[in-house]
Amino acid sequence: MGLSEDVISCEGIIASMEDVALKQFLFLRNLAEPIIARFGDRGTKTLGNAFKRYGQWRGENIRMSQASLVSGHDALAFLANWDSCDFILAGLVGKVEAEGGSTSATLRLPGVPGAAYFQRRQGKPELLHQYWSGLLEGMPTGYDGRLALACTSAPLGEPWGIQVAYDGKPAGSIGIERVRAAIHDIFADPARALAVVRATSRNAGALYMFIAREVIRVWDATGEQLIREGVRGIGRERGSVLRDKHIREGKPLNLKTLMTDWDGPLVSTWVFNEGYLSDGAWHQDCRYCPYADVWAEFGKEGLDLGLLYDIELHTTMYQTYHPGTIVRWDALKTRGDHLCKFRISIPELASPNDPEYKRSNEP
């Protein structure tokens, strides 16, 4: 993936979907666990409030999407216009069933999305269930207030479902087959599938922001300390997974290996200008970042939280992968610039042909 992302084949798009879907649960676990460890039930309650506000934001995005403007609102329209890859990926590993009508519908999945990651990382099942319950509780407020959502609380790995009710005049423009097609037939339209990849990435950036915002609102500097700890946890996990993978594959640990096999879609979702990549240097300008796109919606507060993420995530992730890495930006969206100008180097691997070689090795 990374700078070698395949945006044409079904297999390539599925790999991108799997990555961005994983991020939301990787973010959730790493951000939430330090808060719960420090504050117990109070931390759990604060996270619940963050999940509801995040859900409201997601509901607003579904309501304002072009698809919803065309379809109108009701139970089936909500499911058909769902804004992430969760249900699509569930349909690739098991049977996803949709039934019902415009006022009441049910979606059954082989398991709660995120369960495989939480089991692999020994995450707390109650946190994953709280996330889904809070998300679904908040979404109706953003959608139009006449929606009601509920989910089952099955053990991880067991079948799981969402119940949707609509207590208003249904649009009636979407049948149950449209819901099934949105889940099972999306790969027939690669552009639409990649749009869902980008939307899912935006959601991960928003989840981070809503958690950070609420925790810092409640606990101020101590809250910020815990958020920094959580973001570093994200960076350590991602950096170590990539490092271990590349060692297993017999690949050299350098920037060329890392950026061509980055754990995210750096072609379809993060949009870059042409750049320079060698073993010891990566210089490239990012024009579009789905996370910064979300953070900018919330003005200075969102950008400040984004800057915290940028600094803690990138320094930790790169230096976990290779301890000698120097993280620099010549411009950064979360500092108010219109581009993120990545100027990453590993001085011990740099060559005189690299741009700014002297700068990479200055005392």
CB 13 within 8 A of CB 194: yes
Region 64-84 average pLDDT: 97
pLDDT tens digit string along 23-38? Answer: 999 999 999 999 999 9
Please determine, for residue 294, whether its predicted confidence score (pLDDT) is greater than 90: yes
- Does domain 10-204 fall under CATH 3.30.1380.20? My reply is yes
Predicted local distance difference test score (pLDDT) of residue 357: 65
φ, ψ of residue 309 to 5 degrees: the values are -60, -50
- Band (325; pLDDT cuts 50, 70, 90): very high
What predicted TM-score, i.e. pTM, was given to this entire model? 0.96
Residues 6+ apart with CB under 8 A from 269: 16, 20, 194, 197, 198, 201, 290
The SS3 assignment for 209 reads helix
Do the two domains 10-204 and 205-360 of this chain adopt the same fold?
yes
- Band (355; pLDDT cuts 50, 70, 90): confident
pLDDT tens digit string along 94-115? Answer: 999 999 999 999 999 999 999 9
pLDDT tens digit string along 163-185? Answer: 999 999 999 999 999 999 999 99
CATH number for the 205-360 domain, one of 1.10.1060, 3.55.40, 3.30.70, 3.30.1380? Answer: 3.30.1380
Query: How many beta carbons lie within 10 A of that of residue 65, not counting itself?
Result: 14
Q: What single DSSP character describes residue 173?
A: -
Please determine, for residue 326, whether its predicted confidence score (pLDDT) is greater than 70: yes
* Residue 187, token pair as written in the block: 């790969």
Tell me what percent of the residues of the chain surpass a pLDDT of 70. 98
Query: How many beta carbons lie within 10 A of that of residue 347, not counting itself?
Result: 16
239-242: long-range contacts, CB 8 A cutoff, minimum separation 24: 239/316, 239/317, 239/318, 239/319, 239/320, 239/321, 240/320, 240/321, 242/321
Single-letter amino acid, residue 70: V
pLDDT tens digit string along 203-258? Answer: 999 999 999 999 999 999 999 999 999 999 999 999 999 999 999 999 999 999 99
How is the chain split into domains, by residue range?
10-204, 205-360
Distance CA 130, CA 33 (A): 13
Distance CA 20, CA 275 (A): 23
Distance CA 363, CA 360 (A): 9
Which H or E run includes 196?
A: helix 190-248
Distance CA 227, CA 224 (A): 5
